[in-house]
Structure 1
């Protein structure tokens, strides 16, 4: 049976009502309300849940805000993921929009309103509406943090994972840019004349392996520290000679974007690229950075008169070529590191003329 008692200040004036429930097999439940009616209602509901075996301890979820949860997720999870730094800006956006809510109070309606507000927000950086892909990433990040809270950190969420009930924004059509006609030859010719001598071997290696830029190249980024000062931090180490086995024709990636290591098989062309490279003292396979290659690649495309081609499109190109060579979905996923076939599909754009050849 619940005990309801008043709470008085120093002058004996009632300032609230405290409900206390002691029941065998359950932790002591204590909560204070502004009115006696609210205290009685809470006690009645809580005791009913205990009797029906559906009681959930809400104390920690009531005391933990979304802001607190995301901060902990950033500290304990994101810092251990390759590319986790890219999520920090999304953390701040989510904290600004939803941070004040407790985990016990956050629900699908609140998250849906956040989604709709973001869909109508103009980006200060681009001057255009924020893309649906960005908002989908934000909701996905929030969902992963809530799952971590419930499954690993023991924070009970009374209403379950609310993001699971929220409709995600429809994504734009997947980018399907591939090298066409003689674009590969023109691109590689332009790379040969680049000031950055690493550009051509990097481009060929990317086409042959479908590896991400951060898996191939060292990368740096400027971020602000707690005092607001810009500091340069390494965000990826790039491929190391210690992880390359020329005899087995493999390149091991101990840390990838999705947090799982994988070993990439190397084609004969990729091996030729590696065998022609000088060995650097610092152990890196490619003695340049992503930032340097990014600029050199853009200039090479301009010289080759190739429009709308990004370095990341080479990953699309390589993935599609794997399928055109006859590899199956799980084989390609093992090479590229895609966790789901849906994501793999977005990176795969097969040429109709090549499919026609397979039909005979």
Structure 2
């Protein structure tokens, strides 16, 4: 104390991991967009042995023990082990909350953030699924026969723009018998057919952007019905499209294709058209080139043509 290095750890001794996560959930999480998935992770950590630890008791060994136990714990719902990526998400969330507690709430930890002192589970390999051979034609043919007329134009628009599902479609979250609108989707007021742009005022990364529209994307919008009483460009929800997309893939005989893979496809096509990294990032909204790289998988045969 005479040297000025003593710190009072009463708050870290009296605050449990569960207490901290619940405070984060009530004070910080409402400002976040991906709230539902974070709430699920918070429940998992709070129910674990780690949830009963005080912050002062948290050691690297405690986190390592949690990591190993989670990786060997079979889910009651699925009957499967959690993926290493799932456990990475859980430890990463706890790490972010601990950093926030130290920096913003003034809760000191005797040994600092223990999550930063352990080996994390292996990071999942990013998906590189692209449309191959005649898959696009087969998929669009199957979309034509879908019960919802919105499916085909939405699939084409996703391939042409690289927009996320939440940027195109109204999205809802369902929890505890309550419905919360997560995204309003693309609105007609944000579309300028003359300038060939679509403005996205709210995106996943929190930064607005304006997406240039190809001739094919413009044609999709021009062919859509325009209900003056409905501000949405696509008069449906992601929930209404998701299952229709799964069924269309099944009818087309296409395996292991997710709706989000259309964003991968779009980003790769942008590069194959000769666009540069910053140009593609401006369209897709990726904040860093490293993030953009995960979604970009170029065909070797297309790159070979550029070498001629």
TM-score (norm. length: structure 1)? 0.79
Structure 2 counterpart of 1:205: 157
Segments of 4+ in structure 1 off by > 6 A?
none
The answer on whether the counterparts of 2:36 and 2:173 sit within 8 Å (CA) in structure 1 is no
Larger Rg: 1
For 2:113 and 2:206, the matched residues in 1 are separated by: 23
The answer on whether the counterparts of 2:142 and 2:251 sit within 8 Å (CA) in structure 1 is yes
> Does residue 289 of the first structure (1) align with residue 237 of the second (2)?
yes
The answer on whether the counterparts of 1:209 and 1:318 sit within 8 Å (CA) in structure 2 is yes
Shift in alpha-carbon separation, 1:233–1:326, aligned structure 2, 3 A: same
Task: Determine which structure has the larger helix proportion and give its number.
Answer: 2
Structure 2 counterpart of 1:152: 104
Structure 2 counterpart of 1:42: none
- Displacement of 1:301 in angstroms is 1.4
The answer on whether the counterparts of 1:81 and 1:256 sit within 8 Å (CA) in structure 2 is no
The answer on whether the counterparts of 1:176 and 1:349 sit within 8 Å (CA) in structure 2 is yes
Structure 1 counterpart of 2:171: 219
Q: Write out per-residue CA displacement over residues 9-64 of structure 1, whole angstroms, 9 at most, x where no aligned residue.
A: xxxxxxxxxxxxxxxxxxxxxxxxxxxxxxxxxxxxxx3xx50x433342332232
Unpaired runs of 5+ residues, structure 1, are: 1-46, 225-229
From 176, 193, 207, the counterpart of 2:128: 176
Q: Write out per-residue CA displacement over residues 249-307 of structure 1, whole angstroms, 9 at most, x where no aligned residue.
A: 33333333334433333223222222222223231111111111111111211222222
Shift in alpha-carbon separation, 1:121–1:62, aligned structure 2, 3 A: same
Unpaired runs of 5+ residues, structure 2, are: none
Shift in alpha-carbon separation, 1:153–1:334, aligned structure 2, 3 A: farther
Which structure would you say has the larger RCO, counting Cα contacts within 8 Å and 6 or more residues apart? 2
> Does residue 73 of the first structure (1) align with residue 20 of the second (2)?
no
The answer on whether the counterparts of 1:301 and 1:307 sit within 8 Å (CA) in structure 2 is yes
Structure 1 counterpart of 2:303: 355
From 91, 96, 102, the counterpart of 2:42: 91
Shift in alpha-carbon separation, 1:256–1:56, aligned structure 2, 3 A: farther
Alignment: residue pair count: 306
Q: Write out per-residue CA displacement over residues 310-341 of structure 1, whole angstroms, 9 at most, x where no aligned residue.
A: 11111111121122222233332333233343
From 298, 301, 304, the counterpart of 2:249: 301
For 1:108 and 1:334, the matched residues in 2 are separated by: 40
For 1:162 and 1:246, the matched residues in 2 are separated by: 53
Shift in alpha-carbon separation, 1:244–1:63, aligned structure 2, 3 A: farther
From 264, 268, 290, the counterpart of 1:320: 268
From 78, 84, 88, the counterpart of 1:136: 88
Structure 2 counterpart of 1:41: none
Shift in alpha-carbon separation, 1:204–1:154, aligned structure 2, 3 A: same
From 64, 67, 76, the counterpart of 2:15: 64
Structure 2 counterpart of 1:245: 192
For 1:312 and 1:252, the matched residues in 2 are separated by: 20
Structure 2 counterpart of 1:272: 219
For 2:269 and 2:37, the matched residues in 1 are separated by: 29
Structure 2 counterpart of 1:38: none
Task: Determine which structure has the larger strand proportion and give its number.
Answer: 1
- Displacement of 1:217 in angstroms is 1.1
For 1:247 and 1:72, the matched residues in 2 are separated by: 48
